[in-house]
Amino acid sequence: MRILSWNVNGLRACIRKGFGDFLAGCGADVLALQEVRAFPEQLPADVRQPAGWHSFFVPAERPGYSGVAIYSRKAPDWVETSLGVHRFDVEGRFIAAHFGRLAVAGVYFPKGSGRNRDNSRVPYKLDFYRAVFARVQRLRRRGPTFVVGDYNTAHEAIDLARPKGNVKNSGFLPEERAEFSRWLAAGWVDCFRARHPDAPGHYTWWQQFGGARERNVGWRIDAVLATPSADRRVRRAFIWPDVRGSDHCPVGVDLAG
């Protein structure tokens, strides 16, 4: 079983850059998308309901903003589309698909920078983190759980190319990193870092100017977190930096039978 996650930075734009070919060839059993930035009815039929896939979308109320989705080869037993908190649900940031006892939550955690890059959205971001944490802590009581998506936080200095220059920027603030640490302390496993503890230079997002991607000046802010019971099934955790179509690249895990 393969679980993938990708912030597509606008699915309609990603379609023009080859999303259909990616979907057909990625080998995923479950694919979670973030930053869809479209209502389902705005998508072509072969992306909205592609042959051989079950698809579920949670758009933001605001047009062209946020939004998450899950594609799965097997029909889930049920799908959650709400945290039950209006100020979070209107932004379309949470979806969870259940396959028997296994749960896969796809989450688009907010940026904290705010429109004026003054870190004004950090309190909202941290509140959202806590609301998701409370929900997935309940999910893990039922069985193995994966939380995949764009966490918008680089946890440690190894997770971004220029840590010293970003200590006052959202995405690498002490309080954001501490919240990520709280998840790990509660037993959640960062699947990629657990398997590559000392490997620098593995990033999932790059600025779209200045040749950042070509020079690999990036951040690892997309991740797969797993409960211990889910992590025990992981054979491989990976990042696909060569996949284009977005300023993020896909991340994922392969599971044993």
Residues recognised as catalytic: 150
Q: 180 near 186, Cβ under 8 Å?
A: no
Tokens read off for 124: 């909202």
Can you tell me whether residue 132 is helix, strand or coil?
helix
Q: How many CA atoms lie within 13 A of 230 on its CB side?
A: 32
Residue whose C-alpha is closest to residue 129's, from 171, 77, 167, 163: 171
Q: 97 near 5, Cβ under 8 Å?
A: no
- Which residues are bridge partners to 250 per DSSP? none
- Phi, psi at 181, each rounded to 5°: -60, -35
Residue 135, by phi and psi: left (phi above 0), alpha (psi -120 to 50) or beta?
alpha
Chain CA centroid to CA 14, Å: 16
Can you tell me whether residue 128 is helix, strand or coil?
helix
Q: Where are the alpha helices (DSSP H) in the chain?
A: 11-16, 19-25, 45-48, 86-89, 122-139, 174-185, 191-195, 228-231
Q: 212 near 206, Cβ under 8 Å?
A: yes
